[in-house]
Amino acid sequence: MAVGCRIRRNFERPAKELVEAFRGIPVANIDDNCGRIAAVDASIYPLNPKARLLGTAFTVNAPAGDNLLFHKALDMAQPGDVIVLANKGSMSRALCGEIMSSYAKSRGLAGIIIDGCVRDGYTLSQMDFLVYAKGVTPNGPYKNGPGKMNFPVSFAGIIINPGDIIVGKGEK
């Protein structure tokens, strides 16, 4: 692990009943009732347009184009978590693709949202697993770190805290 990585292993998660209470509520209604400050900007979209995302935020803050801590997050996140990978909005490198998404699905994670790129876009669009990103590129990531895990992140225009409830709809 690179020097400078900070990992918070534990954080407070909302009760499963509270998370489930958000199922079926339109995302726009949730944002309206949160003072119109709870939605990410329009640059983040689902790779699968049928996607409907619901889970608990597991945050990762990584340098642009780097996914070192994302690998660790895949092992530490719990079923029902949504990995929120803050990548400074970089479009230069894919931080996730078919292999990592398949692994996340096998661990019972609810989804992955990245303020950057993924690879294997067509395959991800066909998967029964929810990935949201800014774009697709074949360029692979760096694995140098440093980074932070489970601290507040600046993500696509809002602040997301570990344990926040993440709701997403399936339209671009």
Instruction: Tally Cβ neighbours within 10 Å of residue 144.
Output: 13
DSSP 68: H
Q: Which secondary-structure segment (H or E) carries 111?
A: strand 111-114
Provide CB contacts within 8 A for 80, sequence distance 6+: 16, 19, 55, 56, 108, 109, 110
Cis before residue 146, ω within 30 degrees of 0?
yes
95 and 117 Cβ atoms separated by less than 8 Å: yes
Tell me: is residue 13 an annotated ligand-binding position. no
Instruction: Tally Cβ neighbours within 10 Å of residue 172.
Output: 8
Tell me: is residue 97 an annotated ligand-binding position. yes
Task: List b or e across 21-55, with b for residues whose CB sees 16 or more CB atoms inside 10 angstroms.
Answer: eeeeeebeeebeeeeeebbbeeebbbbbeebebbb
Tell me: is residue 107 an annotated ligand-binding position. no
Tell me: is residue 99 an annotated ligand-binding position. yes
Tell me: is residue 81 an annotated ligand-binding position. no
Tell me: is residue 120 an annotated ligand-binding position. yes
Extract the annotated binding site for Mg(2+).
120
Extract the annotated binding site for substrate.
97-100, 119
Extract the annotated binding site.
97-100, 119-120
